[in-house]
Structure 1
Amino acid sequence: MKQVYLLMLAGALGAHTAAARSTYYITAAVSDTAATLSEEENPAKGSLKGHVSTADGKPAGFVTVVVRELNRGTTTGEDGSFSLRNLKPGSYTLFISSVGLKPVEKQITITGEQGTEINISLEETAHQLSEVVISDKRTQNDRPVNLSKLPIPVMDLPQAVAVIGQATIREQQAQRLSDVVKNVNGVYLASTRAGTQETFSARGYGFGSYNMFKNGARVNSGTFPEMSSLERVEVLKGSAAILYGQVAPGAVMNLVTKQPKFEGGGEVSMRVGSYDLYKPSFDIYGPISGKVAYRVNGTYESAGSYRDHVSSKRYYVNPSLLFKVSPRTEIIVQGDYLKHDYTPDFGIGTNNGKSIVDVPRNTFFGTSWQYSKVQQATAGVTVRHQLNSNWSINGNVAFQQYKRDYYSIERLQFSKDSLDRPLGKALNDERYVSATIDLTGKFRTGSVEHTVLAGVDADKYTTDNTTAWDFEGGYGTSKNLYDKISFRDLGQKPGRQDMPMATAREINRLPVSRFGGYVQDLVSISEKLKVLAGIRWSYIGNEAQRKTVYKTGAETFTKGQYDNAFSPRFGVVYKPIPTTALFVSYSNSFTTNSGYDLNKEALKPSLIDQYEAGVKNDFFAGKLSANLTVYKIRNSNLAQVATYTRDGQINGDANMKELIGGTTSNGVEIDLAGHPVAGLDIVAGYSYNDIFVSKAITPAEGKTNGNLLKGDRLVNNPHHTANASVFYTLQNGGAKGLKFGVMAFYTGDRNVGWNNTTAQPDRMFNVKGYTTLDLNIGYGWKQFSVMAKLSNITNEYNFLVHENYSINPIPPRQFTATVAYRFKYK
């Protein structure tokens, strides 16, 4: 066996790497005879393949390998492997690089009779290499994303993807998920109903719980997830129905929590900020044995608010264990628990639901006793097994319980100078169990390479909701009015302050079952042309809802709704050069509609067609990525709460709905990400979306319900959004390590309230767009770091609107600072 040794001396690893300079040893082994390898292991003629590992023997993923003369390259997978085929015999310059490292060029020889196999051993440990990966300095197109389930780079996926890593979350001192989402172009915070949760939308469609995932399993979105526990946030834009079944079009989001490590270390930190924010946090990880590692992180948070009489307390812990059962098998067991007590806040209200009340940002129309108490616990087990060098199987089982105890003044609307304050109370208890198993692998049919995914998933929701109550001293049509206050006498006559006794009338149990199977294949016809095709079959059972009256014990059941459908997907990727990919795709999906129609019959599902096309580019050896995506989404049936009942009365039942016609969402997204010089990171994006009623259904004869007005833009969807962030870290001098950053986020004009109908043509109004600007500064010295942020420095005043009764002003200018200490141990 001939041995060729290539020695690479790397440059500075950047601000997040422990060592300043590092040496890489690359061993290229060229076999003298193909007979020395088995048929399976024998490299193909004119091929180059290999494996990259760290000094401690762990796979080194996302390292770039390029044949300079052919301008062809690839990126190592998560297992460190890579391959290049159909190389003509000759001498080539091999270009091997990793983020933050000085690239090195060396000569190799490819013959037509023998393949070349390369094993690369890096001097960095997995921990040191992960520091670089986490730093977000990779091109956004060169690494796989867990949400796609296929072990392929984003460049080969006919879909737009965004990944926000831990470094960005830390540097920007993200307090809520909306702080992270500001970095994702085309995804925006749509509303914050009573300040109890954040609702996101993408491409005109809301996420909801079905589109939110944690470690690959669905998670309830009825509370604020903890940011300090996250390794990264993944967003897969466009349709994901083939992978996850019942999801709304637009995007899905996956929150990946921190994973155990075999290197001992951790961090303790303290965050303080405006309005009495105090947040101590800890993160500890390390080995228990040679095959078991652990990680535990947690935090406590106490905060006031820029809103009068509003406060919050949170407790969070996230333990996890990693078992290296064998070189090919690992098991991760993880869970977390969140307890969050806070003041529901419906904001400042509207004038008859048609305009926002003009009052100071801090004005609070609630009471001193109102509360919301949330508990959320999740647990999951993930098993990953490498069958051989080409095939692997992954399984995941997860459990979640979500509980909420809520009692508040809500749905604020002024009529002239007075405000009726209605009462609302709810008890929610949701249990959710899910299981997924995926098989992924690669094989060849002649010169064509296939990357295959096949899987099945199933889940079960059981939700108990108590939302119908009798209130002591309540009055009005529904006996839920607390009191009436005068706008002019707010200072002198604040209104009633006692907490009425509330008695539950009934409880509803809503069981939902889902099952699906899917298969898709990325067919690499050549290095330039790839085709992705797949199909999913989904079954969804919205089982009979059981209503139990507390006083009598009487039970009634609604009729269940059971749907199934096939969801196909097809896409083509063409790469004229390795750093540019053009793609087009089509997908079809369906979503079930909860509730019932005017005849108390279950609603039919909505069918959705989605078309997408775009181009992904990496320029200047990965220093700049520029992506462009255009799309069209057509929803055949949009469900909304019915305006009137069948007999013409005003409808007060939120579960009574009607299909009002079709909607169309057209849009374009532009994404830029770059690291033009050492220490400088730039991310920017712009999106345009127009979602409107494209088909209006005329009410049948004898029915008084009004359809939506054709051509109207749907509420809570701005035409324009944009984001930009620039961070620079000093590389030399006495202030080396000092970091400066600026972030800007723009949300354009949007319609809010309710969409107009022919029966009620004036139910919505417009809110102007706004821009917020944040400044960041940070400094690291040895194991210490300090970061500070001044957010909304212009003190912009605008609103997040939920329907027409929860109008929450955006936060004013605020200050946040975090001091952290990192440590390592053996």
Structure 2
Amino acid sequence: MTTLSFEHACHRVPLFRRLPLGLAVSALCAGPVLAQSSAPPADGQLSTIEVVGRGESGAYHAEEAAGAKTDLPLRELPQSVRIVTRQAIDDLGATRLDDVLDYVGGVSRQNNFGGLWDNIAIRGLPGNENTGMATLFNGFSSNRGFNAPRDLAGVERIEFLKGTASALYGGSEPGGTLNIVSKRPLWTSANSVEAYAGSQGLKRGAFDSTGPIGESFAYRLNVAVEDRDSFRDFVGAKREVVAPAFTWKLGRDTVLEYSGEYLRHATPLDRGVVAVDNRLGAIPRSRFLGEPADGDVTVKNQTHQFILSHEWSSTWRSRVGLSYRETSMEGFSTEPTALQANGNLTRQRRYRDFSSNDIALQAELQGTVTTGGIEHELLFGAETFRFDMDSLMLRANPTAARPYAIDIYNPVYGWFQPVPTANIDTLERQRNSAFYVQDAIKLSPEWRLVAGVRADNYRQSLLNRRSGVTAAQEPSSTSPRIGLSWLPTPQWTFYANAGRSFRPNTGSDVASNGFAPETGRALELGTKWESADQRMGATAALFDIRKRNVLTSDPVNTGYSVAAGEIRSRGLELDFSGQVGKKWRVNASLVLNDVDITKDNTLEVGGRLLNVPRVNGSVLAVYEDGFANGQRYGIGGGVTHMGRRLGQARTQAEAAAGTPAFDLPAYTTAKLVAYWRLNPTLRLTLDVDNLFDRTYYSSSYSRVWVTPGTSRTITVGLQARF
């Protein structure tokens, strides 16, 4: 069984309210580290092969995806899915989600809120500019609220489900959905300790421990503590992660799983650098344009998930899941507003205090039936969630008397800081109930048909406490999808799929009415290849996506929006991953993507979308071998290319006047990875990012909010297992 139901998803519970840093430190000091494969319980249930701690000789190519919610192997699934395995994460030396994005085709970075969250677009289509694209954690939504950059200490793999997933998960982008799969307990005792030091004051420690407690209970605990400076002046970050998990066999056919995570991330909100006359590089990439006296903005997230699974027979099983999440963000920041001709940058001071609660319940029944010689894998599901978010933001705007400006060429910090006053004070409530069904049909040995549909009923309200006005609406949506695969040989698959998506828009128009949801239509045509030994795989896909009801400026009421915009995304994706020969692992991608605005009240029709390149690609290759004395080594590297991207949306008036578009230049970066395994329990690693120290810009929101890419970074690590 390989469904999200119980074999692949690790899930989390309210075991702790807050686990102090002292626990993390004591766990880190507990000793070395171990990596072993797990042994199944006596009845063979929940068997797996998994490594504890950073390892080698693992796989890049995956055969299944938990997020697809089907037992069909990925080669037979009529959908493009890209999985970043734990081995790929380890080879990249990745500690955050951002570290792997360059090696997944068709993914582009969006506004990351000054370094306080992850925000990406898949196939050129971004999600909500405040909360980002649809992201799942073990199949539960994890992007409602405000979420710190994802740490990978407790992550087993990352699944990029290309195309629309609304038929299974509801509100999402038609370009794709991201599913994070956490590490799960193993049934063989194993422990790992890792320590890292590197450029810009990096210090990081991680601890991973797992094993059985008796015959029916197994645990896992992942802990990470990190403290780093930055190539940016006055900018550093501290984070603590604690991720416990357990698996409890309540009976021969019943399993209860828990996964929990507490994450605290503190860093100054950093809007980056500015462009002068549409030109980047006028000031150093290290220059900070905020105020050091503001201190850190702190983001706290905690997640608890329970999953109860039961095998009713050899062909039917059920799954009931409960997820509870809390998020918060609090702190001061100073953010650029406009650049004057003399080099003075006016700024606005803000204070944010955001918090949210999110509780979700899922129930699924999955099984197989055979009718007329045709096998059906059926999935029936129901989901409901309740989400509340309190948002308080105070602002102090610059004035002629107090411009609160800084000279970008000769910055002087420590000016009198204005006191922000009330600007936003809202309470948002979201409620949803949904039902979905999916049928994966084996029409014959050569044909597979997957069809599904989901019906969502939303209730949304937004209370403006300053005005006392509440905007409310109850949108509903039905999201179907269908896909067909043809398997002419054991190695080749040809497939096609079509589906619809929707995503509720938040906020209200000038009349305090809610906006109609965004809707999308996605078409995909592709082919897949898998080697006979299932160690290599490749996918080529053509896609055409249309999205409607995108928020755009109200042409009559300045400062308000209407749901009237439309976007089109078309492209070609090529992906390859796997073991090439006995000693090489390779991961490669190339994407051509054309995304443009087809309808808008303000923005240039035919214009591009922010931060989306027409071309991006990457290659990662690692070579492994051993010495006569039993020691092993690996060495490799990666190259990524990101094409030119739009850096600030261009209006119709600017286009008519011939105002040049502001673009982020294309860039190519390289990295070096290496390890030396001294003995079966001890390893040394070396990671060098941006090997040639290229100056580049990873994303932008406007000419005065441009995020520079990191300078060359060298990290040395020591990993021990026991």
TM normalised by structure 2 equals 0.89
Q: Post-superposition shift, 1:355?
A: 4.3
Structure 2 counterpart of 1:787, one-letter code: T
Distance in structure 2 (CA, Å) of the matches to 1:558 and 1:297: 43
Compared with structure 1, are the counterparts of its residues 502 and 709 closer, same or farther at alpha carbon in structure 2 (3 Å cutoff)? closer
Distance 1:376 1:626, change over 3 A: same
The residue that corresponds to 2:405 in the other structure is 484
- From 126, 137, 150, the counterpart of 2:59: 137
Mapped to 1, the partners of 2:503 and 2:224 lie a distance apart of 37
Aligned equivalents of 2:424 and 2:41: distance in 1? 60
Deviation at 1:813, TM superposition (A): 0.8
1:349 aligned onto 2:261: no
C-alpha distance in structure 1 between counterparts of 2:440 and 2:652, whole Å: 45
Q: How much has 1:506 moved relative to structure 2?
A: 5.6
Q: Does the 8 Å contact 1:422/1:482 carry over to 2? A: no
Give structure 2 stretches of 5+ with no counterpart.
Answer: 1-33
Decide which of 310, 313, 322 is 1:397's aligned counterpart. Answer: 322
After TM superposition, list the pairs within 5 Å mapping 1:258-337 onto structure 2. 258-337=183-262
1:139-288 mapped onto 2 (5 Å cutoff): 139-140=61-62, 143-207=63-127, 208-209=131-132, 211-220=134-143, 222-288=147-213
Q: Which residue is 2:689 aligned to? A: 791
Deviation, 1:192, is 2.6
* Number of the residue aligned with 1:809: 708
1:800 to 698, 702, 712: 698
Q: Which residue of 2 aligns with 1:768?
A: 665
Instruction: Give the total of aligned pairs.
Output: 678
2:536 touches 2:579 (CA, 8 Å); kept in 1? yes
What one-letter code is carried by the residue in structure 1 that aligns with 2:388? T
- The amino acid across from 1:534 in the alignment is G
CA distance in 2, matches of 1:129, 1:782: 13
| Corresponding residue for residue 744 of structure 1 | 639
Structure 1 position 435 matched with structure 2 position 361: yes
Q: Which amino acid aligns with 1:674?
A: G
Q: 1:377-398 deviations in whole A, cap 9, x for unaligned?
A: 1111011111111111112110
Equivalent of 2:572 in 640, 664, 668: 668
Counterpart pick for 2:624 among 691, 707, 729: 729
Provide the C-alpha distance between the structure 2 equivalents of 1:623 and 1:801, rounded to a whole number of angstroms.
35
**Equivalent residue for 2:594?**
690
Structure 1: distance between partners of 2:417 and 2:197: 33
In 2, distance between residues paired with 1:131 and 1:59? 24
Letter in 1 for 2:712: R
Corresponding residue SS for 1:283:
strand
In structure 2, the CA distance between the partners of 1:200 and 1:168, relative to structure 1 (3 Å rule), is same
Q: Is the 8 A contact 2:336 2:346 kept in 1?
A: no
Q: How far is 1:414 from its partner?
A: 1.5
Change in 2 beyond 3 A, CA 1:774/1:128? closer
Matched to 1:801, the amino acid is: S
> What letter corresponds to residue 733 of structure 1 in structure 2?
A
Do the aligned partners of residues 758 and 482 (structure 1) sit closer, same or farther apart at CA in structure 2, a change above 3 Å counting?
Answer: closer
Residue matched to 1:114:
none
Aligned AA for 1:692?
D
Unaligned runs of 5+ in 1: 1-15, 20-52, 61-78, 80-124, 550-554, 698-705
SS at match of 2:662: strand
The structure having more radius of gyration, on CA atoms, is: 1
Contact 1:423 1:482 in 2 (8 A): no
Structure 2 vs 1, CA of residues 527 and 482 (structure 1 numbering), >3 Å: closer, same or farther? farther
Spell out the pairing of 1:81-92 with structure 2 (5 A cutoff): none
CA displacement at 1:475 relative to structure 2 = 4.2
Q: 1:702-721, aligned counterparts within 5 Å?
A: 706-721=601-616
CA distance in 2, matches of 1:59, 1:686: 41
The answer as to whether partners of 2:168 and 2:452 remain within 8 angstroms in 1 is no
Map Cα deviations across residues 276-323 of structure 1 (whole Å, 9 max, x no partner): 000111111112211111111111111101011111111111111110
Report deviation, 1:173: 1.4
Moved more, 760-769 or 163-172: 760-769
Aligned to 1:387: 312
Match of 1:700 in 2: none
Cα distance change, pair 809–452 in 1 and its aligned pair in 2 (3 A): same
Q: 1:564 to 1:219 in 2, by over 3 A?
A: same
Distance 2:602 2:421 in 1: 37
Tell me by how many angstroms 1:431 deviates. 0.7
- Is residue 605 from structure 1 mapped to residue 509 from structure 2 by the alignment? no
Change (3 A) 1:136 1:384: farther
2:374 counterpart letter in structure 1: V
- Identity level (%): 23
- Give the superposition deviation at 1:660: 4.1
Alignment of 1:578-617 (within 5 A): 578-617=490-529
Change (3 A) 1:440 1:753: same
Give, as a single letter, the amino acid of the residue that structure 2 aligns with 1:813.
R
* Cα pair 2:221 2:244 within 8 Å, conserved: yes
1:535 paired to 2:535: no
Query: What do residues 721-755 of structure 1 show as CA deviations (whole Å, max 9, x unaligned)?
Result: 10110011104534741011101111111111124
Please give the residue correspondences for 1:544-555 in structure 2 after superposition, counting only pairs within 5 Å. Answer: 545-549=462-466
Which residue of structure 2 lines up, in the alignment, with residue 102 of structure 1?
none
Distance 1:130 1:281, change over 3 A: closer
1:774 Cα deviation after fit: 0.3
Q: Deviations over 1:622-650 (max 9, x none)?
A: 343221011000113321344x652xx5x
User: What does 1:32-47 correspond to in 2, within 5 Å?
Assistant: none
Distance 2:250 2:535 in 1: 39
Residue 293 of structure 2 corresponds to residue 369 of structure 1? yes
- Cα distance change on mapping 1:172 and 1:661 into 2, 3 Å: closer
Which residue identity lines up with residue 809 of structure 1 in the other structure?
P
Cα gap change, 1:808/1:144 in structure 2, threshold over 3 Å: closer, same or farther? Answer: same
Aligned pair in 2 of structure 1 residues 536, 522: CA closer, same or farther (>3 Å)? same
Equivalent in the alignment of 1:94: none
CA shift, 1:717, in A, is 0.8
TM-score of the two chains, using structure 1 as the length reference: 0.78
Q: Is the 8 A contact 1:717 1:751 kept in 2?
A: yes
2:699 is equivalent to residue 779 of structure 1? no
> What letter is aligned with 1:152?
L
Cα deviation for residue 502 of structure 1 reads 3.7
Determine helix, strand or coil for the equivalent of 1:167: helix
Is the Cα–Cα contact under 8 Å of residues 432 and 462 in structure 1 kept in the other structure?
yes
Q: CA deviation at 1:161?
A: 0.8
Instruction: Summarize deviations over 1:177-219 as a string: whole Å, max 9, x none.
Output: 1112233221222333312223111111124456111122111
Which of structures 1 and 2 has the larger relative contact order (alpha carbons within 8 angstroms, sep 6+)?
2
Q: Is the 8 A contact 1:349 1:413 kept in 2?
A: no
Is 1:571 aligned to residue 483 of structure 2? yes
Residues in 1 aligned to 2:681 and 2:388: alpha-carbon distance in whole angstroms: 47
**Deviations along 1:607-627, whole A, 9 cap, x unmatched?**
211101100111353343221
Structure 1 residue 635 and structure 2 residue 582: aligned?
no
The residue type paired with residue 406 of structure 2 is I
Equivalent-residue separation in structure 2 for 1:374 and 1:292 (angstroms): 33
- Alpha-carbon distance in structure 1 between the residues aligned to 2:608 and 2:366: 42
Matches of 1:130 and 1:400 in 2, distance apart?
Answer: 26
Change (3 A) 1:357 1:467: farther
Distance 1:452 1:488 in 2: 64
Between 619-628 and 319-328, report the one with greater CA deviation: 619-628
Aligned-residue offset at 1:368: 1.5
Alignment partners' CA distance in 2, 1:253 and 1:204: 14
Deviations 1:397-455 (Å, cap 9, x if unpaired)? 10111011021111353211211121122110011111111111111002101011110
Once the two structures are TM-superposed, the CA of residue 659 in structure 1 deviates from its matched residue by 3.2
**1:315-361 C-alpha deviation (Å, 9 max, x unpaired):** 11111111011221111112111111111111112347x44361112
Code of the aligned partner of 2:484: V
